[in-house]
Amino acid sequence: MKRDFVLVTVSLIVWGVGEGAFIYFQPLYLEELGASPLVIGSILGAVGLAMTLFHIPAGFLSDRIGRRKLMWAAWGLGVITTGIMAAARSLAVFSIGIILYSVTVFVIAPLNSYITAARGKLSVEQVMTTNNAAFCMGGIAGPLIGGSLAEGLGIRSIYFFSFGCFVISSIIILFIKPQPTEVKLKNPAGDLLKNKRFISFLPVILMVYFALFFPQPLAPNFLKNQRFISLQTIGTLGAITNLGNVLINLLFGLLPPQAGLILGQLFVGIFAALVWRFTQMPILVMAYFLLGGYRATRSLLIAQVEKLVQPANLGLAYGVIETITGVALIAAPPIAGALYTKNPDSVFGFTLILIIPAILFTLLWRKFLWKPL
């Protein structure tokens, strides 16, 4: 592996510890600050909106001014916004912190472009799944630490711990080297719009992401309020998910892409069914391990982009893909929140209804429209 790829990987592990510490407790802390399920869903929908707005500009700029500058900016913004969340004592200020933190996801397009170029002899599928696994490796320890802090010192204390992790991660990322920009195209956006292979991929991304993300935002609330699961146990389940993320990502990096894409969606469907119908801890552990199929599916979907576009358009293409996924992140939480308010169980039943056509659509696209360059 190249030096820069290793540095990015280590930085992501540390960042994964920090984000993993608080991410599973975010809905619970919003509830603690006075938010209802519908308000929680709306706030998380606003998070999705903030995430969506910056992907295309970031992807475009990464192809033009360089990927490292945007990566540094994202890491720095993450440190600042986590500090805001840690300092917040009201729902309004904390919500602002969440939304601003979500803006840091603009780094995904530059980051994916950077590691694609720095991958050495690895395939794109392997580099995507390896980096995702690295992030999730940190996320194994994060929820366990977060659960202990939440039980002993309150959920707010987690954000101070995460702030420290993000500072360390940011220091590591400062040592990566710049990469040359690709040859510029006269009209990169127009070139993508004429790319029928790439355009046909966008509805697949939207449908799959919406289905796989739908059961996740309010699952911690369901476990706590309907299943009476402790915060410490919820943190443990989060760690199990990240263990699943690591192992399933590494496994899917070795499988044919189509097999991984289908298995990942099936795994999330099984997660929804098990959380919906069972309360026994061993079964919940299995469910949260299989939830790792979500990130693994994401890695494989993103890896297909490099095969569909020219190198000079890669950052912009990654940005477009992340924007489409952002649409799913905007839409899913408010709808899930409305269903949860009426009947908490309905969120998981509806997920199973969504995943079936998502799998079928993926199979049809791979068979009839998949034509790599």
Q: Which domains does the chain have, with CATH numbers?
A: 3-174+195-368 (1.20.1250.20)
CA–CA separation, 18 and 169 (whole Å): 9
What pLDDT score was predicted for residue 368?
Answer: 66
Residue 316: what residue type? L
Structure tokens, 307:
């095969």
Arithmetic mean of pLDDT over the chain: 85
pLDDT at 189 over 70: no
What pLDDT score was predicted for residue 164?
Answer: 94
CA–CA separation, 350 and 138 (whole Å): 31
**Directed axis angle between helix 67-87 and helix 3-23, to 10°?**
20
pLDDT at 182 over 70: no
CA–CA separation, 220 and 279 (whole Å): 13
Total-model pTM: 0.71
Per-residue pLDDT reduced to its tens digit, 266-299: 999 999 999 999 989 999 999 999 998 998 898 8
Higher-confidence position of 51 and 70? 70
Specify the 3-state DSSP secondary structure of 304. Answer: coil
Of the pLDDT bands very low, low, confident and very high (cuts 50, 70, 90), residue 325 is: confident
CB 208 within 8 A of CB 354: no
What pLDDT score was predicted for residue 131?
Answer: 81
Of the pLDDT bands very low, low, confident and very high (cuts 50, 70, 90), residue 185 is: low
pLDDT at 67 over 70: yes
CA–CA separation, 361 and 203 (whole Å): 9
What pLDDT score was predicted for residue 192?
Answer: 75
> Cα separations (Å) of 20 from 23, 56, 166, 222, 296?
5, 26, 11, 19, 17
Per-residue pLDDT reduced to its tens digit, 201-256: 888 899 999 999 999 988 988 998 888 888 778 878 888 888 888 889 888 878 88
